[in-house]
Structure formats: C-alpha cells, structure tokens
Structure 1
Amino acid sequence: MGIKMRLLQSNDDEYFLDCIDELYRTIEQDSAGFSPQRILVRFSRFKTFLVRKLILFPKLFKLQPKIYDRQVVNFASMISGDFRLLIPSSFSSSNNFIYMYDVWPRFHSWIFPLLDFFSVKYVFFSSKQVWEIFNEKYGHIKCKASWVPEALIAGDYSYKSYIERTIDVLEFGRMYDEYHELIKGTLALNKKNHVYRTPDKYFLFADKAAFTDALASSKIVICVPSNITNPERSEFISSMTLRYLQAMASRCLVVGSLPSDMEEIFGYNPVVEIDMENASSQIIEILDNYESYLPLIERNYKEVLAKHQWQNRWTIMKAKIEEVL
C-alpha cells in the first residue's frame, strides 16, 4: 500500500466533466506509489461564503490554517479557483495538489495567492500562458507550478469508418457564432447533416455514451479556442482543450483555429484552419474531398494514442508530486 491519496470531487450536478473523471480513473488504475480514494465533496453555502470573504480580504491569504497534519495527499482537479473542493481536506494535510483549468486573467490576483493559503504544494495548469504568467508575476508564491496540457483516455472513445459516418459537421460545446452563421445555410442547401446546439436544445447529448457515438459518427468537428468564441470570458488565453483531443480520438477531422500552445504540444499543425473569407465554400470543398484528409486524421489519432492520454500526463504529475513530498 502506498501513501493515501484523496481524489477530491464535487458531488453536485452543476456540470459533467469527462476530463476530471478520466484523470481520476487513470490515477486509480496506477497501483505504484499511492493508494487513491475518491472523496465526494459536498458544497455548502458556508464554503462559498468563506472563499468569497477570503477574496475580499487579501491580508488573510498569508494565513495557512491547520487543524492537524495527516500523512495523506489531497489531489483536486478543478475549474478555475473553485477552492471549495479543498474545504476542509486541505486544513488537515500539508500535501495538497491541484490540476486547474480555465484560470482566466481577471481571477489571477486572488487565485494564485490562495494556493499558499490552502497549502497547495504544486499546481498543474492546463494552459501554458497561465503557467508563464504565474512564473513571471507571482514569484513570491511558495506553491510550485508546471504546465500540463489536457488529455483523455482514448479507450473511452470509438470511431466508425468514414463511409459509415452520418454526421457531416458537428459543433458541440462553445459555439463560434460568426463562423456558424457563415456555414449553416450552405450546409443545409447542400443537404449536409449539420448537428449543433439550438436555443430549444442547449445540451445536445443526454450522456457520455450519446456524445461519443455522435463523435464516432461525425466527419468534421469544429474546434475553436475560447479566446475567439468567448473573449469576454477568457480574454487572451488560448489553450488546447479536451474537445480537440476527443475529436481526434474519434478519428474526426478537426476544422477550426489552432490554440497558441497546440503546435508546440503536437509538433505540427493538426487542425485544418478556418478560412473566414471563404468559410461556406471551404467546408463544402473539405467534405467533397474528405478522403484527401484521411492521412492527417490517422496521424492525429496515432499521436493522441501515443502522447496525449492521461497516463502520459499523470506520469509527469506523479513525478512532480513525489519530488516535493
């Protein structure tokens, strides 16, 4: 038996995050070094109140409250600064670690200092830009940091041969509205099956099984980073997200825009870049010449299998955790 590791996970139904579940399952399947156990964390009004008060009184950030110190590791995969996940577990251990997504610039001034408040020894950012900002502007923070891009478990995704695929173009998650409007009419005019979210159907898929089946049935998936689709939220942060990898693991062709860190991650451009000036004709041309893109689809698929699964990322994170224990 290794060191006990508590995998802290929300028990509410506000969102369903494949990325967190797949990472935790990867850790649970690794029998060397740690003895992982998932802990469902109940959120409460008090926890929300506490975090909000901490944000208002930054002088409290220097405190590091401890009830007692157990020989246990807490690991939380969280969206932005959702420190409620660490309450109360971080107050009974000095060994706290976080994998963090969506750390938008307007939140940096309180997210980064609170890492020390909650005795976080190491934070892993999904965004290279966030990691660089942390290193450049927050050198006084004791918590160490690394850039670890998102990943998946490829076995959770399936695929069909391209001649069996019934969805021509799939748009899921965040919509790039400007581009969507440019291609929607042309795809309909050419009788292409274009699947996307509508006002009366905000959630396209009932569960993960329906989602992965849609991916397996799609020829093209539109992927654009959030600094383009939602700049009011993510500002200038441009990062590879899970949707790119999910599409590739399902042997779909990714059409969209390349996040700033993705070419470095892959070593080549795995995305067919959108031509906004000729968007409607481009999407039809791609569909009409789909076979010519099969080598890129296959290259992306093999690259994801070899280098972009959670096991690849966990090997890196586990080594960093062991360094500071």
Structure 2
Amino acid sequence: MNTSCLLAVMVGGNMSQIFGLVTLGRLDMRFSKIHLLESQEKAYFLDGIKELYNTIQKDNSILITRKIVTNRRIKSYLVRKLVSVPCLFGLKFRLWNNRKVNFAALISGDFSVLIPHAFYSQLNFVYMHDVWPRFQYWIFPLLDLFNIRHVFFSSKQVWADHLKKFPKSRCQSMWLPEGIDANEYSFRPYHEKKIDVLEFGRRYEKYHLLIKDRLGANSKYHVYKHKESDLLFQEKSDLVEALAGAKIVICTPSNITHPERSEYISSMTLRYLQAMASKCLIVGITPLDMQELFDYQTIVEIDMENAAEQLLEVLSNYDSYFPLIERNYLEVRKNHQWINRWDIIKQKIEEVK
C-alpha cells in the first residue's frame, strides 16, 4: 500500500499496522534541510522526544540541524502573557519567510521552543503530547499564531477535538501515536527476570494499594516508588535495566490515574511500548488508542475485584503468556517505532513543501 492510500485509510477503518506500513521509498524530496528545535532540559518525561529526535538525526537523506532553544524562562513568560490576552490569538506573527523547515516535539502547549524561529518561516511542524482539554482553548489557536503548517497529535481524541473545536484552523492536523526506538531497550531471558511486578511513572494508587501487601506477603519482588518526592530511576539506563529484568509491568492510561488532569483523553503512552520492547507482560487497562492500533488483545486487563489474586495467578502461570509477550515485541519492532512515525512526518512535510 502506498503512502497516499495509507493516509487516506487513517481517517477510518482498522488502525492495526497502518502506522507501521508507511514506506517512502525513493522520493524526489523537495526539502533537504530541517531544523530540530529542542529544549535543553533533561527531565525523564522527555525521553520519548529524545528518542524521536535521535531517530530523525539518523536520516541521511536530509541535513539535520539540532538547535537548543535558549532563554526558555523569558520565552515561557511571554507565552503565558499571550495566553492571558485571547484577543491576540487571531494575529499573525510572521516577520518574513526564510523557507526553513522547523520541527519541534512539544509537551502540551510549550510554544516557547518555537520562539523566534516560527516567526521567520511558514514551514513549521510540531508533534504534540498531553494536549489536555482544559488547555485546548488556547493551544489550538496558538498553532495558527505560531505559523504551524501541520500538527501531529499523539492522541486520536485530541485530534478529533482540534477538528471539532477549531474547524477553521489554517493548521492541518492528524493523529500520530507515540513511538519508540526499540534498539534502546533490552530484555533478559524469561528465566533470568527477577522483578515480579514493576510500577513506574504515573501510578494507579487505588490498584497499588490492593496489590502491595499481598505481593509482599507472598515474597514477590515488587518494585515501585516509595516516596512521592523520589524518582524511582535516576537515569534512563536504570529504567532500561529494570524493564529488562521485569516479568510484569503495570500500565494504566492517564484518564484513569489522573482524571483531574487528563479528563477523557485515553491515549497510548511510551510506557506501554517500553514494556513491550523489553518483553514484559503488561497488566493494566487498554487505552482507547491501542484498541485501534492493535487488532488483538495486547494486555491482561486489571481485575479490580481480585487484583492481588489475579497477579499471583498470572505469575504462577507466567510461561503461558510467552506467546503474547513475543507477539507484542515483534509488533512494536515492526509497526510502532519512531522510524515508522518519522516516515509519515517526512511525507507530510514533503506534501506541504
């Protein structure tokens, strides 16, 4: 299936494998340079963005320039002031068009990364995570103000919100799920995995309290953050090592763990892909996006009525889940890596350019 057909199919139908099947082949590329705009922050929640940027950096078909954006504090202040004056949303801050292609991956509405580059070009493209409903009233209009030609939303629900709430936007949009660089993760043979249950990142506290004591009473090695202020893993390498040695990873979408923040948005996050790439069995709740991205049941759904008993049963019959773990691993490597997503992004840039 060629790219144009694929992108047409993405509007509806079964999403399984669609995002992994795009191949560009030998395109007559009309753009040869791209500027990656990035923050100098080293926060753990930027791991996915760093993997995406590193994937783009390996593309030898175009010249990649990575620009660390400075003076973020001042620029963030300017964005906040701008948000406080909605009557300015309709303005066009375009100084001139240097025809440079700029790309940035943003957490929520962190438009400070785009200053001043977006005002010197009409070829700006962004990938956006965490566009929660309460922020959409200013994020969507600012896409136009910052001269964004195409935005890629990690959540299908957010994409639908953009089409519904801001139908006259000059900025085109599409759903493009998160990806992973599977080569940055590893796994141990099943008989060498020593961590029985791993909880990291956002924690489903209600579920955690149901399983913690029973797992301990049954001498199961349960790894989780003990203090709210502490990081479970100081470095990404520590996380990779833990995942490689974990049997089960608990994954639940943000609308379950933090509904006050995410509201109804149920999207596939990096954590699901990290677990699959590390050959861990996922016990949790399937996000809405994943129900379309995979044409089979990828995880063991949580039984809240028998939470601890369910985990103990799964651990006692762990070898029966090997086929599912292997299938998830192969599916992620084939269809859900950042290189799959970058192929689609590059195609859309080419169409606009």
Is the pair's TM-score, using the shorter chain for normalization, greater than 0.5? yes
Task: Give the match for residue 8 of structure 1.
Answer: 37
User: Residue 3 of structure 1 contacts residue 73 of structure 1 at CA under 8 Å; is this kept in 2?
Assistant: no
Task: Give the match for residue 285 of structure 1.
Answer: 313
The separation in 2 between residues aligned to 1:270 and 1:297, in whole angstroms, is 8
1:21 correspondence with 2:50: yes
Unpaired runs of 5+ in structure 1? Answer: none
Task: Give the match for residue 241 of structure 2.
Answer: 213
RMSD after superposition: 1.3
Tell me the amino acid that sits aligned with residue 60 of structure 2. S
Secondary structure at 2:89's aligned position in 1?
Answer: helix
Task: Give the match for residue 192 of structure 1.
Answer: 220
Secondary structure at 1:42's aligned position in 2?
Answer: coil
Secondary structure at 1:99's aligned position in 2?
Answer: strand
The separation in 1 between residues aligned to 2:209 and 2:73, in whole angstroms, is 41
Query: How many residues get paired?
Result: 324
Secondary structure at 1:123's aligned position in 2?
Answer: strand
Secondary structure at 1:261's aligned position in 2?
Answer: helix
User: Residue 150 of structure 2 contacts residue 173 of structure 2 at CA under 8 Å; is this kept in 1?
Assistant: yes
Task: Give the match for residue 317 of structure 1.
Answer: 345
Task: Give the match for residue 180 of structure 1.
Answer: 208
Tell me the amino acid that sits aligned with residue 248 of structure 1. M
User: Residue 159 of structure 1 contacts residue 216 of structure 1 at CA under 8 Å; is this kept in 2?
Assistant: yes
Match of 2:159 among 118, 131, 149: 131
TM-score by length of 1: 0.97
Shift of 1:49: 2.2
With over 3 angstroms needed to count, the CA separation of the structure-2 counterparts of 1:251 and 1:14, relative to structure 1, is: closer
TM-score by length of 2: 0.89
Percent sequence identity is: 56
The separation in 2 between residues aligned to 1:267 and 1:320, in whole angstroms, is 26
User: Residue 12 of structure 1 contacts residue 43 of structure 1 at CA under 8 Å; is this kept in 2?
Assistant: no
The separation in 2 between residues aligned to 1:27 and 1:285, in whole angstroms, is 43
The 5 Å alignment of 1:99-178 reads 99-178=127-206
User: Residue 233 of structure 2 contacts residue 239 of structure 2 at CA under 8 Å; is this kept in 1?
Assistant: yes
With over 3 angstroms needed to count, the CA separation of the structure-2 counterparts of 1:27 and 1:14, relative to structure 1, is: closer
Shift of 1:200: 6.6
Q: Spell out, residue by residue over 1:121-147, the C-alpha distance to the aligned partner (whole angstroms, 9 max, x if none).
A: 000000000001111221111100010
User: Residue 10 of structure 1 contacts residue 85 of structure 1 at CA under 8 Å; is this kept in 2?
Assistant: yes
The separation in 1 between residues aligned to 2:44 and 2:218, in whole angstroms, is 36
4+ runs of 1 displaced by more than 6 Å?
Answer: none
With over 3 angstroms needed to count, the CA separation of the structure-2 counterparts of 1:175 and 1:133, relative to structure 1, is: same
Q: Which has the higher contact order (CA 8 A, sep 6+)?
A: 2
The separation in 2 between residues aligned to 1:217 and 1:128, in whole angstroms, is 32
The separation in 2 between residues aligned to 1:14 and 1:290, in whole angstroms, is 34
With over 3 angstroms needed to count, the CA separation of the structure-2 counterparts of 1:80 and 1:201, relative to structure 1, is: closer
Match of 1:67 among 77, 95, 107: 95
Shift of 1:222: 0.2
Unpaired runs of 5+ in structure 2? Answer: 1-28
